[in-house]
Structures are given as C-alpha cells and as structure tokens.
Amino acid sequence: GFPPLQGHVVRNWKVRWFVLLQDKLLYYKIEGGKKEPSPKGRILLDGCTIICPCLEYENRPLLIKLKTKTNTDYFLECCSREERDSWALDITGAIHAGHPVQVQELHRMKNSFKLLENISLHNIVERMYDSSTGIKLTRNLDQGNRYKETFTGSALVDWLISNGFAVSRFEAVTLASMLMDENFIRPVGVRSTEATRSSDPSEKFLDDSTALYMFAESSKKNTSSKEEVSFNISELSGTIVKQGFLVKQGHKRKNWKVRKFVLRDEPAFLHYYDPTKEDNKPVGGFSLRGCLVSALEDNGVPAGVKGNVQGNLFKIITKNDIHYYIQASSKAERVQWIEAIKPLT
C-alpha cells in the first residue's frame, strides 16, 4: 500500500494516492476512503530532478519537489520525515535506474539512512534530560546576552556520539537537525539562529562551540507522556459505519496530517489511524457519547486553527471538552461525515 501524499497543480493541496512504477509515478483521487480505479495523472521520471528536502514553503518541511524534463514542478507532501526520506530514495532510484554508478551511491545513502530510522527521537530526548547521563546545561554568553540552561552545538554532537546514537560527526549533525526540525531543541542566539536559514540541511545545525541551543519547552511535556496510546478491545468492537481519509490538525504542533478515520457504532467511537503505519493500530480516538459536531464556515479561519487550511472544515468537541479540527476534501464529503456522526452522539 502506498501512503497518500499531496500533489499540486493549481496551487492548492489535494490528497492523492501515489504508486511508483519503474519509470513513472501515478496518482489517484481518493473517493469515500478508496482510491479510484484509474489514475488522475502521471509524472514521467525520465530526466526528472528531485529536490528533497524542498524548502520553498516555510511551513511544510516534509516536501519533495519533482521537476520534470518539460519543467513542470510537482510538490508532494508526506506524513512524516521517515516517509519523506524513503519516498525520496525510491523515486531517486527510479530516476537513476539506467545509471548503475548512481544506483550504488543510492544504496550507500539508503544504508546510512537506516541508522536513523530505528532510533526514536523521543528516546534520545528522554536520555538528554536524564539528570546524571543527560546533556549538561550551562550558562552561556552570546553577544552580551546571557542564556541559562543552554548547550553548544559541538557539546550535543559529542554527547550523541558518546551515547552511541551516531557514529560520525556528520551523522550526529543530521540527527541534531532532525531534533531541531521536530521542535525538541531550538537555536538561541545569533549564530545558531542564522544557520537555520541555510538551504543546505547539513548546515542548519552547527557542530560548533559558539552556536547555542536549548530544549524547546514543548518537548519536556511530550516525553513524559508516552506516545503509545492503548485502546480497549471493546472500543474497537462496534460495527463500522463509515471510513475514509480526512486531514486532521494535531494537538501539540498544530500541523495537518492525513489520517484514516473509522466510525463505529455500539459502542459509538471515532478512531483515526496513520496511513503510513502497517500495524493497523489507531493513533487516537474518542467516544462519541455527548460529542458536539459542527461544520465551520469557509470564510475566515476560526481561532484554534493554524496553518494551511483549504476549507471544508468541521469540528468535534468531546464530552471532556477536547476540540478536534478536521478537513474533508469536499463540501459533500464533510456533510456525509457530519450526518454519519450526529446520530451517534
């Protein structure tokens, strides 16, 4: 199964299902949670250039850009960094299929990525916080400003290597910049902040004793609550009433992600799944008892909603007053979901 990515032709973002063949990338529309039988379009890979990460959109770090031989640009947005990197490698592999030297180069690259895939960033941050073996926080001066509780770039690189999270300084820098991209750590002071503007990902984080960083506040809260969500078997025992792909706003970092939603009755629950994970376990869900569900008007973005919103929004407020913001791909789809959810509240 291939995860839905977002395609781009008329400057608006749409969820599309991509299938990579030897020489082309096909994309399909998703209707009612299923991909349509015939492709909506194709991107020919011969003579294509790939740019990843693509930094043209400030608030979309998970983009891949493809420039075709005829100079058409496609922007594809993935659900996670791992997914972005693995698509980028596979697409690059297809583009270079006729050039064995580049293919070897690619396998080397792919193997060096492997190291990062099986390391949990949460795990690293948790270790960094450890009072005895974690990273030492010190006071530092930067251009006359005094910062408490910071560490230098080179101190973090040393720490990552000595704790076995990376084998080379280059790898440690890659890992540190991932920690920065995922908002676990942030640059402080002029030198490290300036570096984040570099277009070269390996220069965003500086292995340098004058570049200062600190923990981003959000990560302290994130690491203590375990990411694993456990579900009661009974919650998942109801009859499936409706399912399909919708785009949901995250609670912590208000970013939008494609999720597969499954609506069940008796008991009435709405669960959502990460389409890029094979394990088929929900990543979230809630009881519909006592929920309020309503469409949000498309003129103007409501408070609590951030980022790039195309409209067709609706909102569910649970009995415990947790607000979920969800985008459907069309007005009709929004109506169908609201009408399916309402009777179960």
Query: For 278-332, how does the pLDDT look when each residue is reduced to its tens digit (9 = 90+)?
Result: 677 888 999 999 999 999 876 666 667 777 666 789 999 999 889 999 988 788 8
User: Is a pLDDT exceeding 60 seen at residue 255?
Assistant: yes
Asked if the structure places residue 1 within a domain, the reply is no
* pTM of the model as a whole: 0.40
**CATH number assigned to the domain comprising residue 314:** 2.30.29.30
Amino acid at 227: E
Higher pLDDT, 42 or 177: 42
Q: What is the pLDDT of residue 115?
A: 46
Q: What is the pLDDT of residue 287?
A: 93
Q: What is the pLDDT of residue 154?
A: 93
Q: What is the pLDDT of residue 101?
A: 53
User: Is a pLDDT exceeding 50 seen at residue 218?
Assistant: no
Q: What is the pLDDT of residue 233?
A: 77
Q: What is the pLDDT of residue 114?
A: 44
| Whether residues 127 and 158 fall in one domain | yes
Q: What is the pLDDT of residue 326?
A: 93
38-42, 109-113, 137-141, 239-243: which range is least confident on average? 109-113
Please state the rounded mean pLDDT for residues 5-12: 55
Q: What is the pLDDT of residue 42?
A: 93
Could you give the CA distance from residue 310 to residue 12 in angstroms, rounded to a whole number?
A: 8
What is the pLDDT confidence band of residue 334, given thresholds at 50, 70 and 90? very high
| Whether residues 242 and 331 fall in one domain | yes
Asked if the structure places residue 67 within a domain, the reply is yes
| Whether residues 67 and 150 fall in one domain | no
| Whether residues 160 and 75 fall in one domain | no
List, in order, residues 6 or more apart from 21 with CB less than 8 Å away: 94
Asked if the structure places residue 237 within a domain, the reply is yes
Could you give the CA distance from residue 312 to residue 216 in angstroms, rounded to a whole number?
A: 33
| Whether residues 334 and 242 fall in one domain | yes
List, in order, residues 6 or more apart from 69 with CB less than 8 Å away: 44, 46, 47, 48
Q: What is the pLDDT of residue 339?
A: 96
What is the pLDDT confidence band of residue 46, given thresholds at 50, 70 and 90? confident
Range of the domain at 25: 16-110
**CATH number assigned to the domain comprising residue 176:** 1.10.10.10
Q: What is the pLDDT of residue 221?
A: 42
Query: For 194-217, how does the pLDDT look when each residue is reduced to its tens digit (9 = 90+)?
Result: 888 876 666 788 988 889 999 986
Asked if the structure places residue 11 within a domain, the reply is no
Last residue within a domain, chosen from 110, 142, 161: 110
Q: What is the pLDDT of residue 286?
A: 94
| Whether residues 239 and 337 fall in one domain | yes
| Whether residues 134 and 201 fall in one domain | yes
Query: For 121-167, how does the pLDDT look when each residue is reduced to its tens digit (9 = 90+)?
Result: 778 888 898 888 899 888 877 766 778 889 999 999 999 999 888 87
| Whether residues 263 and 316 fall in one domain | yes
Percent of the chain with pLDDT over 70: 79
Asked if the structure places residue 59 within a domain, the reply is yes
| Whether residues 55 and 30 fall in one domain | yes
Asked if the structure places residue 6 within a domain, the reply is no
DSSP per-residue letters across 92-130: HHHHTTT-HHHHHHHHHHHHHHHHHHTS-HHHHHHHHH-
Asked if the structure places residue 4 within a domain, the reply is no
The pairing of strands 284-287 and 34-35 is unpaired
User: Is a pLDDT exceeding 80 seen at residue 16?
Assistant: yes
Asked if the structure places residue 85 within a domain, the reply is yes
User: Is a pLDDT exceeding 50 seen at residue 222?
Assistant: no
Query: For 63-120, how does the pLDDT look when each residue is reduced to its tens digit (9 = 90+)?
Result: 899 999 898 999 998 877 777 888 888 888 788 765 555 555 555 555 454 444 456 7
Last residue within a domain, chosen from 50, 77, 110: 110
Q: What is the pLDDT of residue 219?
A: 41
User: Is a pLDDT exceeding 80 seen at residue 253?
Assistant: no
Q: What is the pLDDT of residue 337?
A: 96
| Whether residues 181 and 131 fall in one domain | yes
Could you give the CA distance from residue 287 to residue 270 in angstroms, rounded to a whole number?
A: 7
| Whether residues 131 and 184 fall in one domain | yes
Higher pLDDT, 4 or 128: 128
| Whether residues 129 and 196 fall in one domain | yes
Last residue within a domain, chosen from 110, 135, 160: 110
Region of 183 please: left (phi>0), alpha (psi -120 to 50) or beta. left
Return the structure tokens found at 23: 């020489």
Number of domains in the chain: 3
Nearest CA among 200, 85, 207, 210 for reference residue 143: 210
